[in-house]
Structure 1
Amino acid sequence: MNEVSLLQSLGQVSASETGGVFRDFIRGHVRVMISVVMAAEVTQLCGPNQRI
């Protein structure tokens, strides 16, 4: 979900559901960020992938 679809989703839900939609958006982005950081750390520690 990107920022545009987040805004569209928030516009289509009731006020009581807004928190859940926003939490799902943040949770997904945090997961992506953690994966990117972990991959960068592995590359830094172990070097680039040496696939043939």
Structure 2
Amino acid sequence: MRSVKLIATDMDETLLTSDKHVPEEFYKLVSQLDHVGVVTAIASGRPLYGHCTH
């Protein structure tokens, strides 16, 4: 049986709450996953330039 090495999640309507915040439980879960060697990645379909401010 293969073990999980990476968990990736989208942000909008998946990770974020309806008011666009990361749930507090997420940070505890990421810490627990890190402790057992599982990497957590947050992905977005939005282009990088949409998040930059100049």
Same fold (TM over 0.5): no
The structure that has the greater radius of gyration is 1
How does the TM-score come out when normalised to structure 2? 0.31
The structure that is strand-richer by fraction is: 2
